[in-house]
Structure 1
Amino acid sequence: MENNQILDIHTHSHTGNPNAIVNYQLPVVSSDCDDPGNDAGGGNPGDDVFKPLQGVYYSAGIHPWDLTECNAKKQLVVLQELLGQSCFVAIGEAGMDKLANAPMRLQIYAFEAQVRLSEQYRLPLIIHCVKAVDELLAVRKKYNPIQPWIWHSFRGKPEQAKQLLDKGFYLSFREVYSAEAMRMVPDNRLFLETDDTGLAIEAVLRKAADVREVSLSALRRVISENVQAVFLSGKSCFFR
């Protein structure tokens, strides 16, 4: 796989873009409960058999919005089966969201399980966190992870950016964010993404270069080098 031009670390677009890390949403799984109506999961178009596209890298994780009491354990089984494939270079989105229906107890259970998988498979963790920073940091303190944690689609204030950077996080930005927060991120902790916006990563890159007052080519090189170091260095596949 050609990886020297990957700039987009998180997209929901399934067009087979080799210059992005595509988020594969776990398929609907059979329920542990009697009520089939409780069987939740996001899923992708087509059948439930994962068919990687040639030259494309993927991430996969259990999103808190897709989590229920009835599917948590089986989603973890499905996720672990996927992670054995070398095209998966990250776990995520994973995290906690106080706007989701799943109780926080269950969200913490699923997130901690994914933290352990991240360490076991030596894969970086792409974080989704809404109104649950304290809970997230408590899990980080508990596990003291070696693998990188990347807060995706960061839109917080500079104070929160500093807090997360001080805790060792990487920050990933799409098209909307605090310019001051973007400027304070060190080069080696910075990522860009398109998420579910439908934007081209080049548009995100151009805005970020303007905000950081650097050339487009310089920022392109920074992001490409960070992707190589964090996602594609080969260390993540060591035990697979």
Structure 2
Amino acid sequence: MEKNASHILDIHTHKSEEASHGRAIINYQLPVGGALCLSSFYSAGIHPWQLTERDAEEQLAYLQKLLVEGRLVAVGEAGLDKLTAAPMELQVRILGKQVELSEKYRLPLIIHCVKAMEELLAVKKELRPVQPWIWHGFRGKPQQARQLMENGIYLSFGEHYPEQTVRTMPVDCMFLETDDSPVDIEEVLHRVARTRGTDVEELRQAIRENIQKVFFRR
């Protein structure tokens, strides 16, 4: 990617290009999303909520097409969710395929995980990926956060973040996002800075350094 990424602060949003004001990595909806704007950054993956046996291969083929074209800076969101209809066996298999794509194209993987942390860590242990994983929209407690970080997983926080976790975790494992919330990423940044007792501009710089390291290091 030749585009300037220094202004990116929001690593995961469902907002449009116009609404995100060029400051976000936009989640692109598979398998039939709209046209990708050449001036924006995107991630794409097969979300457990949209996963069925009937169209899993079609979604994988479409994801592969976007990756071949070099249109993405991350794979995902992908993951496991025990509250959705797709069988866990299918979810694990398709997550594994997306991990393989993340590795092949040397892109980070954005994770969606609901009540399936043990299964997620089992996949990571089995496949032993070297590309970064980011658990988006993390709302867990500090001990859960520590376990994930010990397994090499970054954490991303949105509007409804857990204050104790945000207050105590190392900044070099942290990202910020807006996800499907209408809140602006600047509001998330300022709130997290207050929670951590950190200068806003120091936090902004740290988050941008993390983004450069994980998403744009190639």
TM range (shorter): over 0.9
Q: Note if contact 1:2-1:18 (Cα within 8 Å) is conserved in structure 2.
A: no
1:33 is aligned to none
1:77 aligns with 2:70: no
2:144 is aligned to 160
What value does the CA root-mean-square deviation take over the aligned residues?
1.1
**C-alpha displacement of 1:62:** 0.0
- In terms of mean alpha carbon deviation, does 162-171 or 79-88 score higher? 79-88
Partner secondary structure for residue 88 of structure 1: coil
**C-alpha displacement of 1:14:** 1.3
1:172 aligns with 2:174: no
2:15 is aligned to 13
Quote the Cα distance in structure 2 between the aligned partners of 1:71 and 1:22.
23
Q: Note if contact 1:192-1:204 (Cα within 8 Å) is conserved in structure 2.
A: yes
2:81 is aligned to 97
Higher Rg of the two aligned structures = 1
The one of 71, 87, 90 equivalent to 2:71 is 87
Q: Unpaired runs of 5+ in structure 2?
A: none
The one of 170, 177, 182 equivalent to 1:193 is 177
1:128 aligns with 2:112: yes
2:204 is aligned to 220
- Give per-residue Cα distances to partners, 1:147-183, cap 9 Å, x unaligned: 0000000001111111111111100000112211112
Partner secondary structure for residue 73 of structure 2: strand
**C-alpha displacement of 1:137:** 0.5
Q: Note if contact 1:13-1:22 (Cα within 8 Å) is conserved in structure 2.
A: yes
Quote the Cα distance in structure 2 between the aligned partners of 1:77 and 1:52.
17
Paired AA for residue 68 in structure 1: T
Q: Note if contact 2:141-2:162 (Cα within 8 Å) is conserved in structure 1.
A: yes
The one of 19, 27, 30 equivalent to 1:23 is 27
Paired AA for residue 108 in structure 2: P
The one of 3, 6, 15 equivalent to 2:5 is 3
1:118 aligns with 2:102: yes
**C-alpha displacement of 1:130:** 0.4
Paired AA for residue 122 in structure 2: A
Quote the Cα distance in structure 1 between the aligned partners of 2:85 and 2:10.
29
Q: Note if contact 2:142-2:169 (Cα within 8 Å) is conserved in structure 1.
A: no
Report how many aligned residue pairs link the two structures. 214
Paired AA for residue 106 in structure 1: L
- In terms of mean alpha carbon deviation, does 133-142 or 182-191 score higher? 182-191
1:56 aligns with 2:37: no
Paired AA for residue 14 in structure 1: S
Structure 1 length normalisation: TM-score? 0.86
Quote the Cα distance in structure 2 between the aligned partners of 1:148 and 1:197.
25
Quote the Cα distance in structure 2 between the aligned partners of 1:55 and 1:107.
32
1:67 aligns with 2:71: no
Q: Note if contact 2:27-2:42 (Cα within 8 Å) is conserved in structure 1.
A: yes
Identity of aligned residues (%): 53
Partner secondary structure for residue 226 of structure 1: helix
**C-alpha displacement of 1:8:** 0.1
